[in-house]
Amino acid sequence: MFEGKLVRLRALRAEDAEHHVRWRNDPEVVRWAAAGDPGFGPVTAEAVGLGFETMLRLSPRESAVFTVEDLAGGTVIGMADYRDLDPYAGVATLGVTIGEREFWGRGHGRDAVRLLVDHLFGAYPLSRLELDTWSGNERAVRAFTGLGFREEGRRRSAVLVAGERYDRVLFRMLRDEWTARS
């Protein structure tokens, strides 16, 4: 378990599936978290349950999913994850979703990413962390750049949201950049 200023990251539990079902069936969460990707939602409870069986057995040497809780009230508000951890290449990809709308824009996602970056650079011999979002998700862009992630590139017109095209924005953080900020 990792605690920040606003959130706690803890191990995923089977009972967290109910939150994931709710978030992945909320059109606004799907829009902001996954640019409306129908692979993210809507989904059935059975499909989430199957995915949870896999997530609960992930090897932390490769990937992990954490539950994000609000520190003030202990409410489950989202998830944070890392995947494709490759200690040989020194790289991992991470992500965060705050599924409870009342916590949007209040710094909880940023705090969760900060905790995850601290954990990954502290626990593994990584030199680089990566994440991405779509150009219309300005809250995520502000959170990532505010933490010191740098835009590394764009896949132009790669995302379709509500009939409009957006760029996929790629970000990276190098270990020495993170260390210099800490």
Q: What's residue 36's pLDDT? A: 87
Q: What is the pLDDT of residues 141-155, one digit of tens each?
A: 999 999 999 999 999
Average pLDDT, the chain: 96
Q: What is the pLDDT of residues 22-55, one digit of tens each?
A: 999 999 999 999 998 888 999 999 999 999 999 9
Residue 182 has pLDDT above 90, yes or no: no
Residue 86 has pLDDT above 90, yes or no: yes
Q: What is the pLDDT of residues 46-85, one digit of tens each?
A: 999 999 999 999 999 999 999 999 999 999 999 999 999 9
Q: According to the 3-state scheme, what is the secondary structure of 34-100?
A: HCCCCCCCCCCHHHHHHHHHHHCCCCCCCCEEEEEEECCCCCEEEEEEEEEEECCCCEEEEEEEECC
Q: What is the pLDDT confidence band of residue 181, given thresholds at 50, 70 and 90?
A: confident
Name the percent of the chain lying above pLDDT 70.
100
CA distance to 58, 99, 167, 170, per residue, from 19 (Å): 19, 8, 29, 28
